[in-house]
Structure 1
C-alpha cells in the first residue's frame, strides 16, 4: 500500500503539494541575498524544482511519515532533469531519497542520484533501524530543472523479497546488455521456488543459480548471519610466478596481503600490489613506494591485484603523475532498458604534493588483475611514459553496492560500466598491455621482460 496517498501530487495548497513541507537545504553562490529555488507544479504532473546561478537558498522538499523499525521501504518514482550544471559555489545535489531512523542518535539517508535526461523510473530501498519519524526527500542545489512524478512509498514484506530483487536489479544492474541476458525471462523461470522459499537460507539456495547466470564476480549473496557467497568463480591461468620472481629480489619483503617489495636488476625498485587495502591500512605499500623514489626505475606489478579500495590505488599512482590526467570514464545504469545508462563521468588522477617519481616505470598486468586493480592499471596507462606489459586484465569492473531485501538477505551487484578514456568499455576485454608477453615455459617471462625494458 502507498503511504503517501497522492502519487501524482495533484493536490496543492499554499504553493506546495498537500502534506509536503519545505526546508532550507543549502546556501550557496549569492547566499542569503540570492533568490530562493523554485518549487512548482510540473508541466506534465508531479513537482518541479529549479534554480540557477542567481539562486542562493536551495529549498528541500520533504514528506514526513511514521517509520516502523525493521521494515524495508521502497520509494519509487519517475523523473527527468534538464540543464544540469554545477556553477561556482553550488553543491552537487540532485536526488530523491528516504530519511529513516537508524536506531542510533542520527537518522540516515538512502538516496538515488538523478542525472540529466528524459522521463525514466527509479527507486530506493532502505530498512528503518527503529520506530520513528521518516521522510521522503527531493533536493536540487545546482543549476537546472528536476521534475519528479508518480511518487510512491511502500512498506515491503519478506514475501516481497524476490520480486523486489528482480525489479531493483532490472533497473540498476549494469551488464545485462553486454552479457546478452534476458533478465525478465531468466527471473520468471525461477520465480515459483524463490517466492515459496520458507526462510532466508532457502531463498539464497533458490536465487543463487539465477545470479550465477550473470557470470559476474561482483555479484554476491548473503543470508542474515551467514557468509558472503560468490555467485561466479573465474577460472584463469595467472601470468605470474611469485616463487620465481622472489629469487630475483634482494631483498624481498612481504607486506602482508598488500604485496611484496624489493630491489631487482641494477637498482630497480619492485613493488607487487596484492589486495588494495583501505587507506587507513595502506601505510606498508605507501612506505615501500616512498623508499623507491631514488631508484633508476620502478617495476610496478599488478598481476596479482584482485581489487579492493581504488582510493588507495590513486594514492600510489599519484606519485608518478605531474599534472591531472583522465584515466577512465564510467556510466551508471539509468533507465528501464538494459542498455540505458546515464552520462559518462570522468575519473581523473591528480598529482600529489611533495616528491614524485620521474624515472621510467613498467607496469605488469594480467588476467588476475581485477576490478579496482584494473582501475589502477588504467591510471598507470594514462601516465605519459609508463609502459604496460603482460596480458590484458580481467575486464570485470562493476562498482558493486549492496541491496538488503525485506527477508534480510543482502545481494551485491555491479552498478556501472568502466570505460577507457576513448569510451571503449573494458567489460569482457580488460585493459590492454602495450607489450604482450606470453606466459609460457619456466620462470616468470613477464617479470623478465619488464626488467629488460627498464634496463634499456
Structure 2
C-alpha cells in the first residue's frame, strides 16, 4: 500500500490513465426473469440514510455485494431545463457504507439516451455512475421503478466502475465522502466519450467537466476459456504452495474456493472477468496485501475500514509550519522545544540521509514526536536505518516464517529480524511514536523497531495488521497478482495479523474529530511530553 498525505480536496481532479471504453456485455447487464417481482421495492426503506455531508469531509469505505444489485424498469434523471437522461430496463449496483448508499452504477439492457445536456445531447448512454447524498436515494430511484434483485455477477462491474471513477468528485483519499443533498454527480459513458456533469438540484444548474472526456473506463480485452482457466489455476496453485498465512485463516477452505470460483473463470469472456474471478477467489483470505490488477485497473478485492487518525493541517497548527522534504519526511519544532518528525513514506533511498540532517537540526530538542500515522509502508531497510538513530543496542523487533512444504501448516524456522544502532550519536530524549490504522506493512515494522528503544512510547491506535514480503504473479493476460509469502510476527511470536501493533497509550477518536485545527492524537503526545518537569529536560543529543 502506498502512503498518502491528507489535505486532498473532496473535489480534487484526479490524474488517471487515458483509455477508450466499450459497452459491457449484455449477458451480464441484462436483468434476470426470476428477479422480476410483482411488488415494487422501496430502496429508501431498504437503505435508510444515517449519514450526511460534513466538514471536514470524511472518506467512507464501501462494499458492493450480491444483495446490493437491483433490477429497474427504467431510470431517468433531470436537472432544471438543461439536463435530462433516460434509460430503459437496467441493472443497478450500489456501494454501501454502514447501510448508506454512497454511489450507484446503472447499466441499461440496451443503450439509453442523453435527451438534453450542455454537451452530448442525442448520444447513446451505455452506463451511468452516480454520486449523491444517501438521503435522496428514494428520489433518484423511485419505488415504482425498482422491481427486485438483479444478477449477482453485476456486482463485479459496479465495483469496477467505482474503483475507476470514485476519485472524480466528492472523495478523500479515493474514498467517497457524502455530498450535499442538492449535489448529484452524473458520470456517463456514452457512444462518444465519458461525460461528467455536476448538477445542483436546488438551483437547477448543470456544470460539465470536460477533463474526464479523455478518461473513460478502459476497454475490455477478449479471452479464451483455455487462457482464462490457465491464469486462474496458476494463481490458485501458487497460493496453495507459497502462502504462509493459511494457519491464521482457519475458516478458509482453499479447495472449496477453487470449486466455487473456477466456473466463473471458465465463463469469462474478457480478461477483466478472469481477474474478477481471481479477486473473488482471494477475497476470503482477508489479506490487505493481496491484490489483483488487470492492465491499468485495480480489481477490487478484500478491504476494510482504516480511517486516518490524523490531519496534516492540524499538525501545522499544533507544532508550527512543516518543512517538507517531498521525499518522505517533514519536520517542525514547537516554540517550547519539542521536535516533530513526520516520516510519511519509505520509498526514497536518500531518506535516511535526509532524516540524519533533520536530526542534526533537531538534536537540541528535549522531546520528539515521531509520526507514522500517514505511512503505508515501503522499504523496511530504510526504516531500519532511521530507527538505528534511536537504539542503544541491537534489538529483535520482528520474527517471520515462510512455507517449507506442501501442507498449509508446513512452516520453516522462526527467523529474527534485528535493528542495529547507527550514526555518530543517538537521540536520547523522550520520543512519542504516533501510529494508527493507516500505519501499514513496513511502517508497522518501523513502529516495532522504535518501540524497542528505551526512551520511546507508542501512542494512538492499532496499526493495520498487514505484512507481506510478496512476489508478483504475472499470468500473461496482463493480470498481475500480489502473493504475500511470509507470516510476520511480533517479537513475542504472536502473528502481526490481524491485530497489528498495539500502542502503549490508546487515543480513541472518531474521524470527525480530526480537523484542520484539531488532532487529538498529536495533542495527547505533546501533553505527555510536557508532563516532564522543566528541570529534568535534556537535549536529545548529549553534549
| TM interval, short-chain normalised | 0.5 to 0.7
Equivalent residues in 2 for 1:89-168, closer than 5 Å: 159-168=229-238
Q: 1:210 aligns with which of 281, 297, 322?
A: 281
Would you say the 8 A contact 1:314–1:376 is kept in 2? yes
Give me the whole-angstrom Cα distance separating, in 2, the residues matched to 1:229 and 1:284.
36
Q: 2:460 aligns with which of 386, 390, 398?
A: 390
| Residue 445 of structure 1 pairs with residue 520 of structure 2 | yes
Instruction: Report the equivalent of 1:335.
Output: 405
* Offset of residue 392 of structure 1: 1.4
Would you say the 8 A contact 1:330–1:417 is kept in 2? yes
Instruction: Report the equivalent of 2:192.
Output: none
* Offset of residue 192 of structure 1: 1.8
Give me the whole-angstrom Cα distance separating, in 2, the residues matched to 1:341 and 1:386.
33
Q: Across the two proteins, how many residue pairs are aligned to each other?
A: 300
Q: 2:372 aligns with which of 280, 297, 302?
A: 302
User: 1:23-50: per-residue Cα shift (whole Å, max 9, x none)?
Assistant: xxxxxxxxxxxxxxxxxxxxxxxxxxxx
* Offset of residue 292 of structure 1: 1.9
* Offset of residue 240 of structure 1: 1.5
* Offset of residue 346 of structure 1: 0.6
Q: Cα distance 1:231–1:285, how it changes in 2: closer, same or farther (>3 A)? A: farther
User: 1:62-94: per-residue Cα shift (whole Å, max 9, x none)?
Assistant: xxxxxxxxxxxxxxxxxxxxxxxxxxxxxxxxx
Instruction: Report the equivalent of 1:279.
Output: 349
Equivalent residues in 2 for 1:209-358, closer than 5 Å: 209-223=280-294, 225-229=295-299, 231-256=301-326, 258-264=328-334, 266-280=336-350, 283-358=353-428
Q: Give the structure-1-normalised TM-score.
A: 0.61
CA RMSD of aligned residues (A): 2.3
* Offset of residue 275 of structure 1: 2.1
User: 1:268-303: per-residue Cα shift (whole Å, max 9, x none)?
Assistant: 110112121132466544433442222212110111
Would you say the 8 A contact 1:293–1:356 is kept in 2? no
Greater CA deviation, 320-329 or 397-406?
397-406
Would you say the 8 A contact 1:220–1:231 is kept in 2? yes
* Offset of residue 247 of structure 1: 0.5
* Offset of residue 252 of structure 1: 1.6
| Residue 375 of structure 1 pairs with residue 450 of structure 2 | no
Give me the whole-angstrom Cα distance separating, in 1, the residues matched to 2:492 and 2:398.
8
Give me the whole-angstrom Cα distance separating, in 1, the residues matched to 2:442 and 2:420.
17
- Indicate the SS of the match to 2:444: helix
- Indicate the SS of the match to 2:487: strand
Q: Cα distance 1:265–1:399, how it changes in 2: closer, same or farther (>3 A)? A: farther
Equivalent residues in 2 for 1:395-414, closer than 5 Å: 395-414=465-484
Would you say the 8 A contact 1:394–1:430 is kept in 2? yes
Q: Cα distance 1:448–1:279, how it changes in 2: closer, same or farther (>3 A)? A: same
Instruction: Report the equivalent of 1:454.
Output: 529
- Indicate the SS of the match to 2:408: coil
Structure number having the greater helix percentage: 2
* Offset of residue 229 of structure 1: 4.0
Q: 2:242 aligns with which of 172, 178, 182?
A: 172
Would you say the 8 A contact 1:219–1:230 is kept in 2? no
Q: Cα distance 1:290–1:228, how it changes in 2: closer, same or farther (>3 A)? A: farther
* Offset of residue 190 of structure 1: 0.8
- Gapped regions of structure 2 (runs ≥ 5): 1-225, 533-543
- Indicate the SS of the match to 2:465: coil
Give me the whole-angstrom Cα distance separating, in 2, the residues matched to 1:281 and 1:299.
18
Greater CA deviation, 406-415 or 445-454?
406-415
- Indicate the SS of the match to 1:308: coil
- Indicate the SS of the match to 2:362: coil
* Offset of residue 159 of structure 1: 4.9
Would you say the 8 A contact 2:236–2:258 is kept in 1? yes
User: 1:426-452: per-residue Cα shift (whole Å, max 9, x none)?
Assistant: 101111111122225562221112112
- Gapped regions of structure 1 (runs ≥ 5): 1-155
- Indicate the SS of the match to 2:454: coil
